[in-house]
Amino acid sequence: MTAASPAQQPDPLLPGPSDDLWPAPFARGAVDATVTVPGSKSVTNRGLILAALAAEPGWLRRPLRSRDTLLMAEGLRALGVGIEETVSSSSSAAGGPDSAGEAWRIIPAPLRGHASVDVGNAGTVMRFLPPVAALADGPVRFDGDPRSHERPLHGVIDGLRALGARIEDDGRGALPMTVHGSGGLDGGTVEIDASSSSQFVSALLLSAPRFNQGVEVRHVGATLPSLPHIRMTVDMLRAVGAQVDEPEHGGVPNVWRVTSSALRGRDLVVEPDLSNAQPFLAAALVTGGRVTIPDWPARTTQPGDELRRIFTEMGGSCELTEEGLTFTGTGRIHGIDVDLGEVGELTPGIAAVAALADSPSTLRGVAHLRLHETDRLAALTKEINELGGDVTETEDGLHIRPRPLHGGVFHTYHDHRMATAGAIIGLAVDGVLIEDVATTAKTLPDFPEMWTGMLGV
C-alpha cells in the first residue's frame, strides 16, 4: 500500500471530486463578522463513546454533525447503541445560551458483534471504537479510506491485545482489522508508545471503566503529542463518574489509571469547535478586521483555546466577554517561533498565516503531523511553495519565510485543514483555487458558506 503523499495525485475514489476547484474569496477590505461555529469534533466523539458505555441514557446537545461524528454515530449504531436525533428543548440544556436546537439522545444497549465499521479517515473513530468493539459479543470488522490504512494504530492494537483482546490484522499495526469481541475485557496494566498519536491513550482510557479490572496505561515513548486532548479525555471521564488517577512523574503525565465502574448518562452541551474557529480568527488577523465567535468557553481543554495566545503574538488582540471571543487584527502579521506539539491540529492554519507575515516563522514539535489526514508538513511545504512561498521542512516542523505569493491551485489531499489553510491564504492572495473544498465536511460541512457569509460575498 502506498502512502497518500502530497506528491501523488488525489485518489478519485475518495469523497469530493478532485477536479473541483473553488475560487477562494479575496478580501477586499477588513472583515467584521460574528461567526457561530458548530460543536467540537473531539468533544462530540468522546461524548458519544461515553454515553454509549453508560448505565443509562444520556444527551448530547449541539453535537457536531460532520463526516467524522456521523461515522462515529454509525459505528456505535452498528454495535447496537441507540442514537436518536431530535430537537431539544432549551429548558433542559444545562442553561447555555441558545441551547435549543439539535440534540442526540444516546441509549446504551448490550454491545453486539457481527458488525462492520467504516472509520473514513477519522482518527477518533479508528482509535476510540476498537476498545468498545472488544466489549461486544462477536467479531467487528474495521476499515476506512485508503489513508486510514497508513495511519498508526499499533498503540490500540497492541494495547488491547495486552489487555486480553483477540484482534486479527495483517501485522502492520494498521487497518483493516477485526476485533473479536468476547462480551468483556480483562483490562489491567499496559505499556504503549503514544508518540505518534495521543489518541492511543484516550482510546484505552475512554472504554476502561467497562474493563473488568479497569486499566493502567503507561506511555513509554520519547514524546507525547496533544496533551490537552488527553486532559479532555480525563475530564470527560470524570464528568460521568469515572475514577481517573494521574500519578505525577517529574511533572509530565505518562501514567493514567481508570477504575472499573458504572458510568452515568450525562446531559452535555457541546462547546464550539475552537480549532474550526481558527480560519475565522485568522481572517481578522489577515485583513485587519474583527471577528467574534459566540459561546467561546471560559475554561476548556480544547487546544484551539491556545489561539488566543498564538494569534495575539502574531499581531492581533482578543477579548473574551459574555458575547464570546472577539479577535481584532491590525493588518500586520508577525512571524512566530512556537512549539505546537500540544496543539498540532492548529499547524496548517498557523502556517498559512505565517506565510503572509512580515518576518519568518519556525513551527516545532509536530513531526507526528506526517501521520495525520495527509503528511501535513510535506503538503503545506509543497502547496505554499507552489504559490511562490519559501517553506522548508525540518525534522519536527516547518521554517516559513514569507515571500510575495501569487494565485494558483492549492491541493488539499483529503485534508480539511489544508482546505481551510488555503482559504486563509486566498484572503490576501488573488486567484487561489482550492481543490476539493468539500473535504472540509470531515469536521465543518458548511465551511464554504460560512466563509462567504463572513466576507459578505
Residues 428-457 that bind ligand PEP (CB under 6 A): 443
Query: What is the closest distance, in whole angstroms, from the C-beta atom of residue 212 to ligand S3P in the complex?
Result: 25
Choice from 202, 326, 328, 439 touching ligand S3P (CB under 6 A): 202
Q: Should residue 123 be labelled a site residue for ligand S3P when binding is judged by CB under 6 A?
A: yes
The amino acid at residue 50 is L
Tell me the window of 117-125, 137-145, 313-321, 444-452 that interacts with ligand PEP (CB under 6 A). 117-125
Tell me the window of 141-149, 197-205, 264-272, 292-300 that interacts with ligand S3P (CB under 6 A). 197-205
Query: What is the closest distance, in whole angstroms, from the C-beta atom of residue 197 to ligand S3P in the complex?
Result: 3
Of 237 and 387, nearer to ligand S3P (C-beta) is 237
Q: Should residue 198 be labelled a site residue for ligand PEP when binding is judged by CB under 6 A?
A: no
Selection from 67, 63, 77 nearest residue 116 by Cα: 77
Cβ proximity of 301 and 327 under 8 Å = no
Residues 343-362 that bind ligand S3P (CB under 6 A): 344-345
Of 124 and 233, nearer to ligand PEP (C-beta) is 124
The HSE-up count of residue 396 (CA atoms within 13 Å, CB side) is 13
Q: Output Rg (C-alpha) for the chain, integer angstroms.
A: 21
Q: Should residue 141 be labelled a site residue for ligand PEP when binding is judged by CB under 6 A?
A: no
* Three-class DSSP labels, 190-247: EEECCCCCCHHHHHHHHHHHHCCCCEEEEECCCCCCCHHHHHHHHHHHHHCCCCEECC
Grid cell 470531515 is found at 442
Whether cis (ω within 30° of 0) applies to the bond prior to 176 is yes
Residues 13-52 that bind ligand S3P (CB under 6 A): 42
Q: Considering 345, 373, 383, 435, which one is annotated as catalytic?
A: 345
**Can you tell me the distance from the alpha carbon of 207 to that of 214, in angstroms, rounded to the nearest whole number?**
9
Give yes or no: 345 in active site: yes
Query: What is the closest distance, in whole angstroms, from the C-beta atom of residue 154 to ligand S3P in the complex?
Result: 13
Residues 358-397 that bind ligand S3P (CB under 6 A): 368
Cβ proximity of 87 and 103 under 8 Å = yes
**Can you tell me the distance from the alpha carbon of 353 to that of 365, in angstroms, rounded to the nearest whole number?**
18
Q: Which residues are catalytic?
A: 345
Interface residues with ligand S3P (CB under 6 A) are 42, 123-124, 197-199, 202, 225-226, 229, 344-345, 368
